[in-house]
Amino acid sequence: MKNLIIKFFPALTPDNAYIFLLGMFWALVLLIVLLILAGIFWLILRRSKSVSGITLNTEHGTLFVAASAVSDLIYSLDDHFPDLEISNVRLIRDEKDFAVQVKVYYAANGQSMLSLTEDFQTQAIERLKAAFGIENVSRIDLIVPKCHF
């Protein structure tokens, strides 16, 4: 190995080739450690804002409403809006409150998407308040990835 390094770097002698290889080894170790630390840092920053549910304080304890219960309630709005097809619902933490992200497919048959959005958001917030007493959902975000014409 020393002979190969000496061929590529003619300024090296057999005496200092070992020191050169040792420096290369430690530089490689340092590079691997830095890549691992950067990966951990990236995972921490990329952490999802999704939550498993909402905890509400009651007079004698707490009430935990799971994200799947919120999702099922939002899916029940599918019958009231024939122009929208709900494909995915996520409950996320929004600064102090919670937000619901709803991915819908829009079938442009009648109403405009803006009026449907207003009606959908209003009904969703009203149902969350009526069914579970959830008042700390600050917004309902509708995401339209595709449109069916």
Give φ, ψ of 145 to 5 degrees.
-80, -25
C-alpha 66/C-alpha 83 separation (Å) is 28
Length of the chain (residues): 149
C-alpha 88/C-alpha 97 separation (Å) is 20
Task: Tell me the β-bridge partners of 97.
Answer: 94
pTM: 0.65
Q: What is the pLDDT along the chain (149 residues), one digit of tens a residue?
A: 677 777 777 788 777 878 888 888 999 999 999 999 999 998 888 776 778 888 888 899 999 999 999 999 999 998 888 888 889 999 988 778 889 999 998 877 767 888 889 999 999 999 999 998 888 888 899 998 877 66
Instruction: Quote the CATH superfamily of domain 53-148.
Output: ANL, C-terminal domain (3.30.300.30)
CB 143 within 8 A of CB 102: yes
Domain ranges of the chain: 2-45, 53-148
